[in-house]
Every structure is written in structure tokens, then in C-alpha cells.
Amino acid sequence: MIVRTTASSLLLIAQPDHAVLARQIMERWKSGGLPAEPRRASILHAVQEHDNGWREVDAAPVLDPATRRVLDFITIPADIRQAVWPRGVARLAEDPLAAALVAQHAIHIYSRFGEDAAWTGFFAEMTRLRGDYAQRAGVSLEEVERLYPFVRAADLMSLTFCTGWTDVQHAAGHEIRLRDERTLTVDPDPFAGVSIPFSIRARVLPNRPFGSPVEAARLFEAATVVTLTATASAAGHKNT
């Protein structure tokens, strides 16, 4: 679950929804030869489905046992995070290049745990899956690594907006920044001068501890749903 925090509320965004938004933005990406890339369909498929393994996890909020507050996709226990990715990769078996790209994504985003013994089995499994699916797709690991930055750029554009991150993110030779609540900028311009409108839905929960997972799930089911809207554009583009 992606959790954007305000003083009084939590805005909860399901990871699979964030991935759909990532594809919507990336479909307009003109940089790096993506429009003419022969494997563009599989790249966009990987973008759209890269978080499908979170589907089961994001069906209800997960609480910290100590604080009883909602955990997000970064603070949720490691065993839950690790289980997400083999499940998600397997769901892409009919598009082996997309599966290999999602395995590469998992390896990349958790690379900071590379020396952690608790993650050794995870990396071994994801590396094996990446190699198996790359072979099925008839591509080299070098080709998977060449195409992967498109997936990462899409992920970071959507995540930066959904989380409300203010730090500059980097992917595929571009700087990604949330200029304000409604403006995502990417530099250099990958959108050929066009401003891209987008939106995503979020559930609103109170920003407080919950009595139990049952209470959190009940409030989640009954929560007000709001639509967050913004535009993506080049850093110097003026929206009209």
C-alpha cells in the first residue's frame, strides 16, 4: 500500500493502481527511442503489471503490531515484500520479457539489501526467474538491462506523485520531481512539449492508530474515495 500522510488523514493507494497510472504516463513517453522500440508492448505490459503481486496484500491495511498504525510498502515486513515478487512475475508468464523485466525491477529496487543474509534467498530466486524468462523471451540479460530503465522511469514518475515525495528521483537519464501537489516535472522533456493530465483514486482513513486489523479493514472498506489529479510535463513547461 502507498500511504500519503496529511495532518489528519491517510490517503491509501493500492500498488496495482499506481502501476496502471505508471503505464498511462509512460505511454506518452517519447524519449530514448521508446516509440519505435520493437519490444515496446512488453515494456508497457511490465510497467502496468509490475506491482500485481501486491494485489492480495493491498486488499486491506497492514498494521504495525507495536504502534497499530498503517504500514506502507517500504515499512511492511520483509517477508511480505519478498513474497510479492515471485507471485507477480509468475502472473506474467505468457509475456516472458515482461516477466524478466519485473524480476529485474525487484532485484534493482531491493539492491540495498544485497549484503543482508535475510534477503539472500530472495535475490537467488529473482535472479533465476529473470534468467529463465529472458531465455524464454529469446533475449540476453544485457537486453533486459537495456530495456529496464523505461520500467524504472515509469515507476518513479507514478510513485513520486502518489507518495508525495519531494526529493528528486533519477531514471533513464531524467530527473523526476514533484514541483507541487499537482505538477510532476521530468527533465529533459520526454513528452515532446505536451503536458500529460493524469489521476488516481485513493481511500481516506484517519491518521491515527487502529484498535485492530479488523477495525482498519472495516474502515478501509467503507472509506471515502477521492481522486487525486495532476499533470506531468517538462520542467520548463507552463501548464495552460
What nine digits make up the cell of 93?
508468464
CA distances from 15 to 22, 54, 149 (A): 10, 6, 19
Question: What distance in Å separates the CA atoms of residue 221 and residue 61, rounded to the nearest whole number?
Answer: 10
Q: Are strands 224-234 and 2-5 parallel, antiparallel or unpaired?
A: unpaired
3-state secondary structure of 205: strand
CB 165 within 8 A of CB 178: yes
Question: What distance in Å separates the CA atoms of residue 181 and residue 10, rounded to the nearest whole number?
Answer: 15
CB 196 within 8 A of CB 25: yes
Res 238 pLDDT > 80: no
- pLDDT tens for 201-221 read 999 999 999 999 999 999 999
C-alpha dihedral sign at 80, 86, 90, 96: positive
Res 240 pLDDT > 60: no
Question: What distance in Å separates the CA atoms of residue 70 and residue 100, rounded to the nearest whole number?
Answer: 31
The pLDDT score that the predictor gives to residue 235 is 81
The answer to whether the predicted template modeling score (pTM) of the entire model surpasses 0.75 is yes
Query: Which residues are registered as beta bridge partners of 12?
Result: 3, 203
Q: Are strands 224-234 and 183-187 parallel, antiparallel or unpaired?
A: parallel
- pLDDT tens for 134-155 read 999 999 999 999 999 999 999 9
Residue 46 Ramachandran class (φ > 0 left, ψ -120 to 50 alpha, else beta)? alpha
3-state secondary structure of 74: coil
- pLDDT, average across residues 179-192: 95
Burial readout 201-237 (b: 16 or more C-beta within 10 A, e: otherwise)? ebbbbeeeebeeeeebbebbeebeeeebebbbbbeeb
- pLDDT tens for 2-49 read 999 988 999 999 999 999 999 999 999 999 999 999 999 999 999 999
